[in-house]
Structure 1
Amino acid sequence: MSISEPTDVELKILRVLWQQPGATARQIHNAVHANQDKNYSTTVKMLSVMLDKGLVHRNDSVRPQTFTAAVTRRKTQKSLVSKLVERAFDGSASSLVMQALSSGKPSKEDLQEIRDLIEKLEQRE
C-alpha cells in the first residue's frame, strides 16, 4: 500500500503522534481540538481514514486502542517540501529557500543552522 500525502488535519494528528506515540483516540482528539468544539467521532473517523491511507498504525491488543504514526516526521516533511518545490517553485530549491528567508525574519539560531548546513553540503563536493 502506498502512503498518500496527509491533509492539514491529518498533519495535526501526525504531529500529536510524533510527540506522543501510542496515544488513544481521546488523547489525540483533546490535543488536536483543545480549544475547539469538535465532535470526538470526527477524530475517530479521521484516524480510520488515516489507517486506510497507511499514515497510522493501530494497536488493537490494548483497550482503549492506541495509535502510532506509520510515517516519520522527516520523511513526511521531505515529501511535502519536494512537492512544494515542484509545484510552486518550478523545481528550484534555491527559490524556495530565498522566498522562505525573505518572507520573515529568521532568528540568529536559524541563520547559523543554515550556514552550518551550507558548509556541510560544500564539504561533500
Structure 2
Amino acid sequence: MANHSSFPPKPTDSELEILSFLWQHGPSTVRQVHDHLAETKEAGYTTTLKLMQIMHEKELLSRTEEGRSHVYTAKVQEAETRQTLLDRFVETTFRGSAAQLVMQALGNHKTSARELDEIRQLLNNLENNH
C-alpha cells in the first residue's frame, strides 16, 4: 500500500513512540521495541507487532529479515517528520500563524533566561536572513 500523496502519512501517537525509539536506537526487532514500550505502558507483544506491520505498509518503516527475526528501520527522518507535524499543527490549530503558536507557548510556560537568549538569537538570525 504505497503512499502517493505529497505528504508522508501522519504518524499516530503510538507510531511516534515507535519511531522515536528507532530514531534513537537504530534498526531494531519487534521484541526490542516492545520491551522498551512495555517499560512505560501496558502493551501486548502482538499489538506492537501488528502496529509495526501497519507502519511498514504505510511506508513509515522498512523491514529486513535477519535469521528468524525482522529488523525494522525508520523510513522517515526525525527532522522531516517533526516539521510535517508542526506545519500541520500550526495550520490547523493556529490558522497558519507561527507567531500565535510561539506566543501561546511562551505565555503558558516558564521560559528560562537561557531559552529566551536562544530565542533572541534565532530571531536575530531570521531577521538577518531576510
TM-score, scaled relative to structure 2:
0.89
Q: In the aligned structure 2, how far is the partner of 1:42 from the partner of 1:53?
A: 16
1:72 matched to 2:77: yes
After TM superposition, give the deviation of residue 60 of structure 1 in Å.
Answer: 1.7
Q: Which has the higher contact order (CA 8 A, sep 6+)?
A: 1
Write out per-residue CA displacement over residues 81-120 of structure 1, whole angstroms, 9 at most, x where no aligned residue: 1111111111111001111111111233322221221111
Write out per-residue CA displacement over residues 63-87 of structure 1, whole angstroms, 9 at most, x where no aligned residue: 4221111111111111111111111
1:53 matched to 2:58: yes
Partner of 2:15: 10
Any unmatched runs of 5+ in structure 1? none
Distance 1:107 1:63, change over 3 A: farther
Specify the code of the residue in structure 1 equivalent to 2:86.
V
RMSD: 1.4
Contact 2:61 2:76 in 1 (8 A): yes
Distance 1:112 1:9, change over 3 A: same
Specify the code of the residue in structure 1 equivalent to 2:70.
Q
Contact 2:23 2:74 in 1 (8 A): yes
From 113, 123, 126, give the equivalent of 1:121. Answer: 126
Q: In the aligned structure 2, how far is the partner of 1:52 from the partner of 1:118?
A: 40
Corresponding residue pairs, total: 125
1:21 matched to 2:26: yes
Specify the code of the residue in structure 2 equivalent to 1:9.
S
Specify the code of the residue in structure 2 equivalent to 1:30.
D
Q: In the aligned structure 1, how far is the partner of 2:37 from the partner of 2:112?
A: 28
Distance 1:94 1:9, change over 3 A: same
Contact 2:62 2:73 in 1 (8 A): yes
Contact 2:90 2:96 in 1 (8 A): yes
